[in-house]
Amino acid sequence: MPTALITGVTGQDGSYLAELLLKQGYKVIGMVRRTSTINFDRIRHIQDEIEIVQGDLLDQMSLISILQAYRPQEVYNLAAQSFVPTSFTQPVLTGEFTALGVTRLLDAIRIVDPSIRFYQASSSEMFGKVREVPQTERTPFYPRSPYGAAKVYGHWITVNYRESYDIYACSGILFNHESPRRGLEFVTHKITNAAARIKLGLADELRLGNLDSRRDWGYARDYVRAMWLMLQQDSAEDYVVATGETHSVREFLEESFSHVDLDWEAYVVQDDSLYRPAEVDLLVGDASKAGRQLGWEPTVSFSELARLMVDADLAYWERRQRRDAASSA
Ligand code: NAP
Ligand code: F7E
């Protein structure tokens, strides 16, 4: 039974990847940081099947100790400060987690067992002010936020450890991927959650920033499959993972609200405070290398994604309403 360590196991991708690896017969070690209140919402259903261990990307010794204790064959580094607006207000902390954290983990691998296979969660945010359309593995980076800049560092330090120490280290340049487990602060889930709440009479407006930016949105469950595939190849390489389609925030609104027969324009309020100091206007990826070499392709379309997220939010709020009604009866 192979052993895999996942940092960021409590996040959206960590929870789906843990499910996938358990299905493949892995022993899964999930690294979580110490907090005064535990939040295992996304992994509660598999909590008994995972070994949870405390560690922090800010603490080198914790990483070394975990590798020494569990001796994983694969390490998936999904932990990060991943919200772009927070990276503008906490740029140094974002750099510590999202950039230097990668070096701490790679160094721990180099010291404990350089034969460990390593996956780094790189991001389409590295392309920022895009130099070409669509973006490929060869497109130059031009990050537009402290988050994007930190991910560029994480990306290149991964390449550097591969080339310097012959570590099997891959970087997946993943474009936006979403699901009902997406954090509520990200625009897709903010929209689908609002559509569901408005439909049920629980809210009457949705405040948003820039509606014109365009993203290549896919389904998170598809994207964690690509992570695993990257670590099963003969040699370590970097891959773009994307759907190849781009849509605006406006189109995501249209798709989500029309699914519950609402006109989004009646509810959306544009809020200047939600604009970013610098924006990424357009992202669209070319995942043909992943298709060719990994046999990977997305299975969920843009409109299926919006609809499955709205349906999940509707089901959640209907359950909450029934529970509240029962407890007040
Ligand atoms: P997410 O839901 O925000 O999850 C981030 C995870 O990192 C959480 O489990 C969080 O733990 C953990 N974490 C944060 N700081 C940590 C620290 N100092 N030490 C240990 N753990 C820490 O992110 P996601 O959407 O699943 O994304 C996974 C990774 O892919 C991230 O690196 C993200 O930047 C990258 N990425 C995401 C996308 C996307 O569209 N989703 C696209 C490209 C790349 P807590 O639960 O304690 O907060
Ligand atoms: O914003 C616009 C916003 O926060 C998408 C992270 O997973 O994907 C994610 O980063 C767009 C931006 O994702 C609101 O200005 C408008 O243009 O959902 P988002 P992101 O910034 O693209 C990449 C690949 C990552 O790696 C990141 O970790 O939507 N937008 N109004 C808004 N965005 C938010 N969050 N909230 C709004 O009210």
What average pLDDT does this structure show over 231-236?
A: 98
- What is the Å distance from ligand 2's center to 83 Cα? 8
Contact 165, 152 (CB under 8 A): no
The string of pLDDT tens digits covering residues 153-211 is 999 999 999 999 999 999 999 999 999 999 999 999 999 999 999 999 999 999 999 99
Query: How confident is the model at residue 329, as a pLDDT?
Result: 81
Ligand 2 atom at shortest distance from the alpha carbon of 123: 26
Q: DSSP secondary structure string, 187-224?
A: HHHHHHHHHHHHHTTS---EEES-S--EE--EEHHHHH
| Coil, strand or helix at 28 | strand
Query: How confident is the model at residue 128, as a pLDDT?
Result: 98
What average pLDDT does this structure show over 316-329?
A: 93
The string of pLDDT tens digits covering residues 14-63 is 999 999 999 999 999 999 999 999 999 999 999 999 999 999 999 999 99
Contact 72, 114 (CB under 8 A): no
How far lies 78's CA from each of 163, 164, 279, in Å?
Answer: 22, 23, 24
Euclidean distance between CA atoms 104 and 214, whole angstroms:
34
Contact 135, 124 (CB under 8 A): yes
- What is the Å distance from ligand 1's center to 147 Cα? 12
- What is the Å distance from ligand 1's center to 170 Cα? 17
Residue nearest to atom 17 of ligand 2 (CA): 213
Ligand 1 atom at shortest distance from the alpha carbon of 33: 20
Q: Which ligand is nearest to the CA of 187?
A: 2
- Residue 328: pLDDT over 90: no
The string of pLDDT tens digits covering residues 99-145 is 999 999 999 999 999 999 999 999 999 999 999 999 999 999 999 99
Contact 103, 169 (CB under 8 A): no
Euclidean distance between CA atoms 108 and 113, whole angstroms:
8
State the pairing for strand pair 74-77/206-208: unpaired
Question: What are the extents of the domains in the chain?
Answer: 3-178+217-241, 187-215+245-282+301-328
**Is the pTM higher than 0.85?**
yes
- Residue 214: pLDDT over 90: yes
Q: First and final CA of the chain: distance in angstroms?
A: 51
- The domain over range 187-215+245-282+301-328 is classified in CATH as 3.90.25.10: yes
Q: Tell me the three-class secondary structure of 227-246, residue by residue.
A: HHHHCCCCCCCCEEECCCCC
Euclidean distance between CA atoms 47 and 2, whole angstroms:
18
Pick the CATH number of 3-178+217-241 from 3.40.50.800, 3.30.450.20, 3.40.47.10, 3.40.50.720: 3.40.50.720
Q: What's the burial of 123, exposed, middle or buried (CB within 10 Å: 0-12/13-18/19+)?
A: buried
Rounded to 5°, the CA angle 52-55-60 comes to 150
The pair of three-digit structure tokens given for residue 159, joined into one six-digit string? 């390449």
Ligand 1 atom at shortest distance from the alpha carbon of 8: 9
Share of the chain above pLDDT 90, in %: 99
Contact 78, 14 (CB under 8 A): yes
